[in-house]
Structure 1
């Protein structure tokens, strides 16, 4: 009996040792799996295994998070042999959540790391401050940034960024309390435009078709949550219908998204990157043939420079330029905005960096050019803003832009705001835009619709004295009316799509009144020289006349006049001398005057 008891005790000891060894093996496997996924930039899987290794969550803790879908690159993490396995795992757990845009989880992970060790990971305080700002904890964030600056010995981009972040926090307070916010409506996407994972990079293919990128699951497998693909949705009466996939090859070997389609709908440019291994992105092109897209072809090496990323393309409405973001050499640092000329076949020429007025030493991404007002919009994390990526705008032509300005709240938030798009021909860009933001999510980008409806400003009476150098004043009995929705390309006498609707109504009126004689008048705002504005306003009025005559109206019944900025209907500047963009918008108009009935 004694012998049997000894055998039993020995067996139990062996079982206990085996159990301990199996547990140790599982713990080691959790760490190894987390490290393997982290190196591959699969941060959702890495975070789940680090949580298991650290004993925080046996079921994973990513909450459906996805890795950063618009910056496919690895974090710059230095190996430090002095750090223990648990400290390093805690650091990489925090980094994983940061790259996932999951600030609540990231902040908790950085705090735990700072409680245990500060010397081995000097950037932990910096990144904690970023997460606190994203969570709206502005005082805590300011304290953390200040603490980081006081102990961080290097004078590098991190210290410069921390100093800018403190200014960002001041900017946030100003934006959240500025006047005029009541004119904005912010609506998160609903129904089919939402899903687990990221939904981002909206772009209008036409007036009713929205193309976007998503990491929504395709089936029940875990791997399906990590695939960026293109999707499209039709809108009817303002509502989104069922989601479909565009008829373009989407290989399992690649992730792809962030697309742009030419105005005639026949050419698509988009971003691709490897589903595994290196995540350097490249730009591809496909042509529509018989309702289907051709096999994608990579753009030339001067755009897709080996070893670097080119991503987030945008083709201008006239088809003359392809804008994109790249970290290739020759820029200002990080990701920069570049543009390349495009010929009539869709072939791209030599790319040009947009220059230091647009680009910073940090990242500029997701360019969008709105032709109706000549506005370039892009995202940047290298300027004073509300935090993370903010959207900035500037006016001008490709290659010739003014200094960018932050688009402010509520277009921007304290999290990441990127990928803005708009449709239509309104000179007010913010009449309706769609963008991507993680402002309302624990993680990941979502789609938002933002619209602005401004009250009609009071219109002062026009000047009593008529301009004598431009044209003779019209008779007192003449009837002058503004042509609604007639728009021109920025700084040009080129009619934009949609202007023909108003002009066609005028043609119908002339056909119904065969003796009627009219004058088309062009007016500009107060920017530019007098001579320039007179020439531009006359050229735009003549463009309308040419269109009407081309539809069969006798040229003797219609004339063009240019009044430049001499007949404003609203102030071009405010009482304090500052610019009044809404007033200038009202002054840029086309009118018609009935000279004879």
Structure 2
């Protein structure tokens, strides 16, 4: 054989092997990045692997995959490498909240692999819903439910998504939407990358998180930024003292001197944790990790919020003891400024899915949070719940246009009065291919209805009525009992509360206050919280009987209004007096 043909053949074989090596490296890199939950990099390399015949040499640069930390899953012989890569490409785009790309990837996968990837139809339907393709989405969800026989969370989620589509159609046509204006924040509050988790430090200073690149390398890192608002002009600066790791949602104490910050590692297992940083002049101290009571090892704690009275730290966590996934938790803040043992907000707020980003408005006594476990517009929706920590009411969806068919999360209001929805900021990816953006939401209340002058009526014939028993202006509600050290009503409390319900039903203009009182034992702040929570439990019961919420107010007095001494003259304990002081009262505010 001619020598030049041998050499040419060797070159051809070498080129083929080299190309095969590049292809193998692309697949290996994609799998490694996917195992590390770095879905952006995983998608890049799966695209290179699946489109290897397009010959884009530029894509071969920069190959530096992470070493896998997770053991490789046992290979399913029925699934080829290309099928697996296509599935994980679609999953990467879904987990990146990139529905346009995810739709394309799932459809390519489902062309020939419906039986091998049963969840692909479900996830495709979610992407179609996020893209506003409601008829296609409904058909895909219906097809998934027809073929999927396993009774698990995926089936429940698909059934809820069908209800979501019905809710969406109703919300998009509701007349109340005309009173809302939703606009994307402009200028420095908008950038390449994500912008989310806004919180007002004061009337002119906004703290938020952004992944905008700070250099020309295009690297996106979650960092905290301060925006100064002065007569429509907005300037921003990063918080340089807090660099060094990924950090997201933050909260500030009422005095403005302490920050609670969400932090996590950029690589490896991405469990988030909560830290504090204190203000020292014009700078912030290096963040300090909160105790293990908040940051359970092996789990995430994130998205903090401090109530305006400084009594509670609210946050989201997937730690044990919840309802499933991420839940809303709250922890009392002690006199030393340290959060105590967290309490789960309970089934009234949390679901088996995820609840995130709590915000509490003191003036409106309203919790706002995001959930993907309730019927809504789809993805994460914002919900409101009246009440206080320990006694939240059934949440209500904030509806369109505050919510959209994509993810809506992180709410903050600038005003703290009763019209707190007049000017707000939310984070949403509704108008982006991916990534959260800051949106300004304003609401103008509808004009009052035109009241027609009443037509003259004939004087009614007055029939003498028997005298009505006089109703006392105030009194103690007898036999209203609670669980020890809790606000939960015990059996037997209904009779006294039902008498109040009857009184309110008979006097339709009457407004009353329910006051909770404790004895002198325990700290003042604790007694105040417990008395308010107990009063709120009574209010919730009465509202549940059909009485309007604007006719009944809960108030906690703690131990500030004793009716008997808590101790005897010699200083010894007076249990009879303390028992009289532990009471629930009603007071008529308007007849």
Q: Give your verdict on TM over 0.5.
A: yes
Partner of 2:362: 371
CA–CA separation in structure 2 for the residues paired with 1:108 and 1:247: 40
CA–CA separation in structure 2 for the residues paired with 1:132 and 1:397: 37
| Structure 1 residue 454 displacement after superposition | 1.4
CA contact (8 A) 1:418 1:436 kept: yes
Partner of 2:503: none
CA–CA separation in structure 2 for the residues paired with 1:405 and 1:94: 33
Corresponding position: 1:248 with 2:248? no
Query: 507, 512, 516: which is aligned to 1:532?
Result: 512
Distance change in 2, residues 1:322/1:165 (3 Å): same
| Structure 1 residue 416 displacement after superposition | 0.2
Corresponding position: 1:163 with 2:148? no
Unaligned runs of 5+ in 1: 62-73, 472-525, 537-572, 586-597
CA contact (8 A) 1:432 1:450 kept: yes
CA–CA separation in structure 2 for the residues paired with 1:231 and 1:402: 34
Corresponding position: 1:237 with 2:231? yes
Range with greater deviation from structure 2 (112-121 or 52-61)? 52-61
| Structure 1 residue 89 displacement after superposition | 0.5
Partner of 1:484: none
Partner of 2:401: 410
CA–CA separation in structure 2 for the residues paired with 1:302 and 1:314: 17
| Structure 1 residue 320 displacement after superposition | 0.3
CA contact (8 A) 1:228 1:255 kept: yes
| Structure 1 residue 46 displacement after superposition | 0.9
Range with greater deviation from structure 2 (116-125 or 442-451)? 116-125
Distance change in 2, residues 1:159/1:177 (3 Å): same
CA–CA separation in structure 1 for the residues paired with 2:303 and 2:75: 31
| Structure 1 residue 17 displacement after superposition | 1.0
Tell me the alpha carbon deviations over residues 450-469 of structure 1, each in whole angstroms, 9 at most, x when there is no partner. 00011331487999xxxx99
Tell me the alpha carbon deviations over residues 168-217 of structure 1, each in whole angstroms, 9 at most, x when there is no partner. 00000000000122211111011111111111111111111111111111
Query: 320, 326, 332: which is aligned to 1:335?
Result: 326
Query: 371, 383, 386: which is aligned to 2:377?
Result: 386
Corresponding position: 1:292 with 2:265? no
| Structure 1 residue 237 displacement after superposition | 1.8
| Structure 1 residue 120 displacement after superposition | 2.4
| Structure 1 residue 578 displacement after superposition | 11
Query: 350, 363, 369: which is aligned to 2:341?
Result: 350
| Structure 1 residue 528 displacement after superposition | 11
Corresponding position: 1:189 with 2:185? yes
CA contact (8 A) 2:198 2:206 kept: yes
CA contact (8 A) 1:52 1:59 kept: no
CA–CA separation in structure 1 for the residues paired with 2:442 and 2:262: 28
Distance change in 2, residues 1:371/1:460 (3 Å): farther
Aligned-residue RMSD, C-alpha: 3.1
**Helix, strand or coil at the partner of 2:241:** coil
TM-score, scaled relative to structure 1: 0.73
Distance change in 2, residues 1:580/1:326 (3 Å): closer
Tell me the alpha carbon deviations over residues 311-354 of structure 1, each in whole angstroms, 9 at most, x when there is no partner. 11101111100000001110000100000000233201000000
| Structure 1 residue 292 displacement after superposition | 1.4
| Structure 1 residue 106 displacement after superposition | 0.2
CA–CA separation in structure 1 for the residues paired with 2:84 and 2:111: 14
Query: 312, 325, 338: which is aligned to 2:303?
Result: 312
Write the mapping of 1:483-494 to structure 2, written as runs, cut at 5 A.
Answer: none
**Helix, strand or coil at the partner of 1:421:** strand
**Helix, strand or coil at the partner of 2:295:** coil
Tell me the alpha carbon deviations over residues 111-156 of structure 1, each in whole angstroms, 9 at most, x when there is no partner. 1111121222211111000000000000100110111111112100
| Structure 1 residue 59 displacement after superposition | 8.3
Distance change in 2, residues 1:203/1:8 (3 Å): same
CA–CA separation in structure 1 for the residues paired with 2:74 and 2:452: 67
Corresponding position: 1:54 with 2:47? no
Partner of 1:217: 213
CA–CA separation in structure 1 for the residues paired with 2:327 and 2:160: 19
Distance change in 2, residues 1:21/1:179 (3 Å): same
Write the mapping of 1:58-207 to structure 2, written as runs, cut at 5 A.
Answer: 58=56, 80-207=76-203
Corresponding position: 1:15 with 2:11? yes
Range with greater deviation from structure 2 (348-357 or 297-306)? 297-306
CA contact (8 A) 1:47 1:96 kept: yes
Q: How many residues in Structure 1 have an aligned counterpart in Structure 2?
A: 465
CA–CA separation in structure 2 for the residues paired with 1:26 and 1:379: 43
**Helix, strand or coil at the partner of 1:418:** strand
Partner of 2:419: 428
CA–CA separation in structure 1 for the residues paired with 2:433 and 2:189: 17
CA contact (8 A) 2:511 2:552 kept: no
Partner of 1:29: 25
CA contact (8 A) 1:342 1:349 kept: yes
Query: 274, 281, 291: which is aligned to 1:283?
Result: 274
**Helix, strand or coil at the partner of 1:46:** helix
**Helix, strand or coil at the partner of 1:192:** helix
Distance change in 2, residues 1:527/1:80 (3 Å): farther
